[in-house]
A and B are shown apart, each in its own frame.
Chain A
Amino acid sequence: MPVITYREAIRHALAEELQRDANVVVLGEEVAQFNGAYKVTEGLLEKFGPKRIVDTPISEAGFIGMGLGASMLGIRPVMELMFWSFYSVAFDQILNNAANVRYMSGGQINCPIVIRGPANGGTNVGATHSHTPENVLANHPGVKVIVPSTPYDAKGLLKSAIRDNDPVFYLENTILYGDKGEVPEAEYLIPLGLADVKRTGTDLTIVTYGRCVIHSLKAAEILEKEHDVSVEIVDLRCIRPLDIDTVLASVAKTHRVLIVEEQKPFASVGSQLAFMIQREAFDELDAPIHRLATVDAPAIYSPPVETEQLPNPQRIIKAAIEALA
């Protein structure tokens, strides 16, 4: 099976869907001539031409609004945000309009827009460029939110997202762009709303998603070798719809839970998860639900301090041991 990068996996998904459906277009800042700020859309302009791959002004409110309008008329735009951090400039278009269009039109108007781009810290780009808004997005009924952790998931989920008739927000990670993984050549789709057990274990369930899956896998190896602890890792992949059944099945097996997320802790995805787990699996819990999140402060500019602000394997190991007490 070919081994490709996370960046290539996203590009392949875009190219395949552009090829398959003439209504699919890619819009965003510098996606065409500059090949994308992070080179995700490299080569697409050459292949699909300027009517399908379109550079936009530096105005999120404007071009997201344009994409939203196009989607209401049957186009399937894939909008690139150079940073998800600037979704807030287009907050009204994304969460007031896109999320509500189908409901407010009584089901007459679909809004098959995909908005994608990186949403992560850890690259020392400062507090205004390091937001992880999946919790804010997922708070809105009517939307779907995806945070892929591997090249395989990135491709299969993006293809499903483009074919979905609701607004889908797809949150990537600049640090994962270069990560490699096996991706089949044959076409495949991953349905939205299915979690994936990335590692099986018996003593502790780590529920996580995005780059924290990679950190958790490293931590689990060390926990196994040095502490003789068997960790199961559930990768949510989709924040909404949320596959709570897979989480509960794992909790019923291990009876202890650690949630790991690159979120500020207050009202995060983990907060919602913890509520759902205790509500549905109270009698399975042998300890309180533990959580490791980003330290509750604006993203710290100092590289060594930011590393410690975010979840990392060492912090996960420490949190796992606490959850096992």
Chain B
Amino acid sequence: MANIIDMPKLSDTMTVGTLVKWLKKEGDVVKAGDMLAEVETDKATMELECFFPGTILKIFAPAGAQVEIGTALCAIGKPGEKIDAPGAAPKAAAAAAPAQKAEDGGQKSEAPKASAGAPVSVSSSVVSPPASVSGGRVKISPLAKKLAEEKGIDPSGITGSGPGGRIVREDVLAAAKAGTAAPAPTASSSAPRAAAPSPASPIPAEGKLVAVSNMRATIARRLVEAKSTIPHFYLDLEIDAGPLLELRSQLNASLEKDGVKLSVNDFILKAAADALDRVPAVNCSWDNSGQGAIRHHGATHVSFAVAIDDGLITPVIRNTDTKTLLAISAEAKALAKRAKDKKLTPAEFTGGTFCVTNLGMMGIDRFCAIINPPNAAILAVGATVKKPVVKNDQIVVGQRMNLTLSCDHRVVDGATGATYLAALKEVLERPSLLLL
């Protein structure tokens, strides 16, 4: 009997995956280790690996479909082998028309029929595919295609404004700006541009409802859950960042020849981890089991927020407290790049025990962050600002940085949070401690 390949769980919060593109088609011979398809989870676009040698006998989920975890994607076996019909039609809704043909357009459409117990059904509320994909192929100009690839946008979700619904450069740029490539609802106008528009004409954009990506949906769900179920409170502390900036510029001057540049955030990641070692009561999570429990994490894994197209993600530096500043800097840089390229593996963005978010580089003085469950706290870092401060009864120029700790009051009380911030202040104001 043929092997049925199901939609795997590719991230801890994933419930549904979008089958972005099949890399193989029915009839292709595959071996273990081959990549079958690209799947977009709420966090990243990943390749689906094949574990069985054989021939792809049947593809159940068309490109563009949103498929629930555990739902059949394809069957692999010997040619002519019986395919065990996948179970009852799952709840997954297909975002793309089920009749959509394979990417190469030359392949016969093998769209599953709902009556045959096919795994992908179309719910009545789904949006219809943009005109640009209605022929079964995505109609897109070569330039727009290249741009979409560069920007990591799935063009099948873009409504083309060119002749015959062709996606042109402007459409990709607009999708990138809107931060979404999800299919636009049919209610919005998809009429081609007027015959003689100037590319630069200042016609105001029409309001429209845009379906969100998996990532955006996850962010929305998780943050509503966090902000509405976790009793947040906030502690603010201004520290003297002068010594830190001075040490950083000294280190960077001598590291320059090696091409290394430490960021302020690298120091904060290290300091946050050291402070967690001093105040382990913050390195905890609330657990809802029974009447409630507090999980004390043995290891210190500090995550940090990285803004990416259409959202943000928090890659984790494991065992942060045991790593040197140099190691943390290199790892943070590599993780941030992989995050922006949407190449993070689930292991790289899960399992954090504390989170740092920094908007200092965007000029924000101070802000209050929402806790990233299951963490018990998150540290929000503001910009370093020159201010008059009183030192030895003299007014001098100080380099001041604002730290705001958001705490889960179920786990961390005010005094505990204050102790943590004090520990953090101590190491940041005497940053040579971080080099020990």
Give the B-binding residues of A (Cβ under 8 A).
203, 227-230, 255, 282-287, 321, 324-325
Report 16 cross-chain contacts, Cβ distance below 8 Å, ordered by A residue: A203-B199, A227-B198, A228-B198, A228-B201, A255-B169, A283-B142, A284-B143, A285-B143, A286-B142, A286-B143, A286-B144, A286-B169, A287-B141, A287-B168, A325-B163, A325-B195
Question: Which residues from chain B contact A229 at a C-beta distance below 8 Å?
Answer: 198-199
Closest 4 interchain pairs by CB? A228-B198, A286-B143, A283-B146, A286-B141
Closest to A229 in B: B198
List 10 extra interface pairs beyond A203-B199, A283-B143, CB under 8 A: A203-B200, A227-B196, A227-B198, A228-B198, A229-B199, A230-B200, A286-B141, A286-B142, A286-B169, A321-B196
In the assembly, what is the distance between CA of A325 and CA of B141, in Å? 12
- B192: contacting residue among A228, A285, A286, A325, CB under 8 A: A325
Question: Which residues from chain B contact A283 at a C-beta distance below 8 Å?
Answer: 142-143, 145-146
Closest to B192 in A: A325
In the assembly, what is the distance between CA of A286 and CA of B201, in Å? 18
Question: Which residues from chain A contact B200 at a C-beta distance below 8 Å?
Answer: 203, 228, 230
Question: Which residues from chain A contact B197 at a C-beta distance below 8 Å?
Answer: 324
Question: Which residues from chain B contact A230 at a C-beta distance below 8 Å?
Answer: 200
- A325: contacting residue among B144, B145, B162, CB under 8 A: B162
In the assembly, what is the distance between CA of A282 and CA of B168, in Å? 14
Query: Are B192 and A282 closer than 8 Å at their CB atoms?
Result: no
Query: Are B142 and A284 closer than 8 Å at their CB atoms?
Result: yes
How far in angstroms is the closest Cβ of chain B from A168?
36
How far in angstroms is the closest Cβ of chain A from B364?
36
Question: Which residues from chain A contact B144 at a C-beta distance below 8 Å?
Answer: 286
Q: How many residue pairs bridge A and B at CB < 8 Å? A: 43
Closest to A278 in B: B142
Given A255-B169, A286-B168; A324-B143 close (CB under 8 Å): no
Question: Which residues from chain A contact B163 at a C-beta distance below 8 Å?
Answer: 325
Closest to B195 in A: A321
Residue of A230, A282, A325 most packed against chain B (CB within 10 A)? A325
Closest to B168 in A: A286
* Interface bits B145-181 vs A (CB < 8 Å: 1, else 0): 1100000000000000011001011000000000000
Closest to B143 in A: A286
Query: Are B168 and A324 closer than 8 Å at their CB atoms?
Result: no
Question: Which residues from chain B contact A284 at a C-beta distance below 8 Å?
Answer: 142-143
In the assembly, what is the distance between CA of A287 and CA of B171, in Å? 13
How far in angstroms is the closest Cβ of chain A from B57?
36
- Decide yes or no whether B193 CB sits under 8 A from chain A: yes
In the assembly, what is the distance between CA of A321 and CA of B198, in Å? 9
Question: Which residues from chain B contact A228 at a C-beta distance below 8 Å?
Answer: 198, 200-201
Question: Which residues from chain B contact A227 at a C-beta distance below 8 Å?
Answer: 196, 198
- A285: contacting residue among B141, B193, B198, B201, CB under 8 A: B141
How far in angstroms is the closest Cβ of chain A from B207?
24
Question: Which residues from chain B contact A282 at a C-beta distance below 8 Å?
Answer: 142
Question: Which residues from chain A contact B146 at a C-beta distance below 8 Å?
Answer: 283
Question: Which residues from chain B contact A286 at a C-beta distance below 8 Å?
Answer: 141-144, 168-169
Residue of A230, A283, A285, A286 most packed against chain B (CB within 10 A)? A286
Closest to B194 in A: A325
Question: Which residues from chain A contact B196 at a C-beta distance below 8 Å?
Answer: 227, 321, 324
In the assembly, what is the distance between CA of A282 and CA of B143, in Å? 7
How far in angstroms is the closest Cβ of chain A from B108?
28
In the assembly, what is the distance between CA of A284 and CA of B147, in Å? 10
Given A228-B200, A321-B196; A285-B162 close (CB under 8 Å): no
Q: For chain B residues 176-213, which have a beta carbon within 8 Å of chain A?
A: 192-193, 195-201
In the assembly, what is the distance between CA of A95 and CA of B192, in Å? 49
- A255: contacting residue among B143, B192, B193, B201, CB under 8 A: B143
Closest to B163 in A: A325
How far in angstroms is the closest Cβ of chain A from B175?
15
Closest to A283 in B: B146
Closest to B170 in A: A286
Question: Which residues from chain A contact B198 at a C-beta distance below 8 Å?
Answer: 203, 227-229
Question: Which residues from chain A contact B169 at a C-beta distance below 8 Å?
Answer: 255, 286
How far in angstroms is the closest Cβ of chain B from A301?
33
In the assembly, what is the distance between CA of A227 and CA of B199, in Å? 9
Question: Which residues from chain B contact A203 at a C-beta distance below 8 Å?
Answer: 198-200
Q: For chain B residues 12-48, which have a beta carbon within 8 Å of chain A?
A: none
* Interface bits B402-419 vs A (CB < 8 Å: 1, else 0): 000000000000000000
Question: Which residues from chain A contact B145 at a C-beta distance below 8 Å?
Answer: 283
Closest to B140 in A: A286
In the assembly, what is the distance between CA of A87 and CA of B12, in Å? 77
Residue of B144, B169, B198 most packed against chain A (CB within 10 A)? B198
Query: Are B162 and A287 closer than 8 Å at their CB atoms?
Result: yes
In the assembly, what is the distance between CA of A149 and CA of B177, in Å? 43
How far in angstroms is the closest Cβ of chain A from B200?
6
How far in angstroms is the closest Cβ of chain A from B167?
10
Closest to A320 in B: B196
In the assembly, what is the distance between CA of A227 and CA of B145, in Å? 27
In the assembly, what is the distance between CA of A40 and CA of B197, in Å? 45
